[in-house]
């Protein structure tokens, strides 16, 4: 009998979740007429949630992401892609 161990990465799932959240936040900001990139950068730098609109629950969504975890994923994806 062979024992096969399956491996999986929770990091990949978490990065997909962060991507989904950022996309929804981006769309909500754009829909309200804001510059989404500037607003998201402002939020990341200050961690001030008022940079993110409450429209479509965007502010609640963005707060589900740890800022350090987000920065790590952004830098990793920027350098690898």
Q: Express each pLDDT in 14-68 by its tens digit.
A: 999 999 999 999 999 999 999 999 999 999 999 999 999 999 999 999 999 999 9
Domain contains 32: yes
Distance from C-alpha of 21 to C-alpha of 52, rounded to nearest angstrom? 12
Domain contains 34: yes
Q: What is the pTM of this model?
A: 0.82
- In 3D space, the residue among 24, 28, 9 whose CA is nearest the CA of residue 65 turns out to be 24
**Residue 71 structural domain:** 13-80
Domain contains 53: yes
Number of domains observed in the structure of the chain: 1
Range list of H helices, the chain = 10-31, 36-46, 58-62, 67-80
């Amino acid at each position: 009998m062979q024992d096969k161990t399956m491996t999986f990465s929770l990091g990949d799932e978490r990065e997909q979740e962060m991507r989904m959240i950022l996309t929804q936040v981006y769309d909500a900001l754009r829909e309200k007429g804001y510059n989404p990139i500037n607003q998201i950068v402002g939020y990341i730098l200050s961690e001030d949630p008022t940079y993110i609109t409450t429209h479509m629950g965007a502010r609640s969504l963005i707060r589900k992401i740890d800022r350090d975890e987000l920065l790590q994923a952004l830098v990793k994806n920027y350098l690898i892609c």
